[in-house]
Structure 1
Amino acid sequence: MTTARDIMTPGAECAGAEETVMQAAAKLTELDVGALPICGTDNRLKGVITDRDIVVKVLGKGKDPSKVLVGELAQSEAVTIGADDGVDEIFATLTSHKVRRLPVIDGHSLVGMVALADAARALSDPKAGQLLEALSTD
């Protein structure tokens, strides 16, 4: 069985909840990624910040990214997947929460990220199509 650990990008870096959105944007640029997990000072996962969040929730609303803290953009509960969860569970989580990226945790530790493309490559062709369709509809 293919698991999240098999298809994830390991070594995900966090954006600290106390960092500014400007600092997170710089980290996104440096790492050439579209999303970063948000970690609190307790090293617990608080959510995910995306490049789209920065544009829509900060810049689009005329807020100053050097003054807005990343933690202000964290969701109420982070959607995650366990490192040993199978592709079917990844598929179900992506579709039910309509997200494109999932932090992968092992216990309480962040060990990587699984993106939509990772899951699509691991699924059979019909399931990959279902996943893309489910995430593309409102």
Structure 2
Amino acid sequence: MTRTVSAFMTPHPTVVEVTDTLHAVAQTMATQDVGSLVVAEDGAVVGIVTDRDLVVRGLAQGIGLDAPVGQLATGDVVTVGPDDDVDEVVRLMRERAVRRVPVVDGDQAVGIVSIGDLAVDLDPDSALADISEAPPND
């Protein structure tokens, strides 16, 4: 039986536009208690940005809070479709050394799947699964 990405993804990811400021993006992450956001240009997925990107590629490099998130977002983003086989997303994550993959229908984000999402279901006894299911630190 084929397991599809839709069974593992988090639906309705928050999408920000490439022109949104780093300040606005950081506030969105804080408000929603998430560490990554899908980045789009005119609604089409073009990248992903993480809290680590904001710190290491932004703050540490002296990039101001008014800079557009497109300046820091990881481009050349790998995406999958909701009906793709979950083994394919695992292969892509390994091959591309990524922890999160936007799920798209056409060029629109419909979900995001993380290595933690996969661990919870595919390797429930792993430390990553335990950490992924734990409540967030406050």
TM-score range, shorter chain: 0.7 to 0.9
- Residues 1:100 and 2:99 are matched in the alignment: yes
Distance 1:104 1:76 in 2: 15
Match of 1:135 in 2: none
1:3-40 deviation per Cα after TM superposition (whole angstroms, max 9, x unaligned) = 11111110111111111011000011111111000011
Q: Is the 8 A contact 1:90 1:119 kept in 2?
A: no
Measure how far apart 1:124 and its partner are.
Answer: 5.2
Contact 1:87 1:122 in 2 (8 A): no
Return 5+ residue gaps in structure 1 as ranges.
Answer: 130-138
Aligned residues: 126
Aligned residue for 1:5? 6
Superposition RMSD in Å = 1.9
**DSSP 3-state at the match of 2:38:** strand
Matched, 1:14 2:22: no
Distance across 2 between alignment mates of 1:24 and 1:111:
19
Q: CA deviation at 1:61?
A: 1.1
Say whether the 8 Å CA contact 1:21–1:68 is kept in structure 2: yes
Alpha-carbon distance between aligned partners in 2 of 1:7 and 1:76, rounded to the nearest angstrom: 23
Q: Which moved more, 1:45-54 or 1:70-79?
A: 70-79
More helix by share: 1
Q: Which residue of structure 1 lines up, in the alignment, with residue 120 of structure 2?
A: 121
Q: Could you state the TM-score of these two structures normalised by the residue count of structure 1? A: 0.83
After superposition, give the CA deviation of every residue in 1:59-115 in whole Å (9 maximum; x if it has no partner): 1112212x2101112334221111111121011011111111110012222101101
1:70 aligns with 69
For 2:118 and 2:80, how far apart are their aligned partners in 1?
Answer: 12
Structure 2: which amino acid aligns with 1:96?
A: E
In structure 1, the partner of 2:79 is 80
Q: Would you say the 8 A contact 2:58–2:72 is kept in 1?
A: no
Gapped runs of 5+ residues in structure 2?
128-138
The answer for the alignment partner of 1:111 in structure 2 is 110
The two structures have a TM-score, normalised by structure 2, of: 0.83
Quickly say closer, same or farther: Cα 1:30–1:113, change in 2 above 3 A: same
Q: Match for 1:52: what amino acid?
A: R
Matches within 5 A, 1:40-79: 40-41=41-42, 43-65=43-65, 67-79=66-78
**Which of structure 1's runs of 4+ aligned residues deviate more than 6 A?**
none
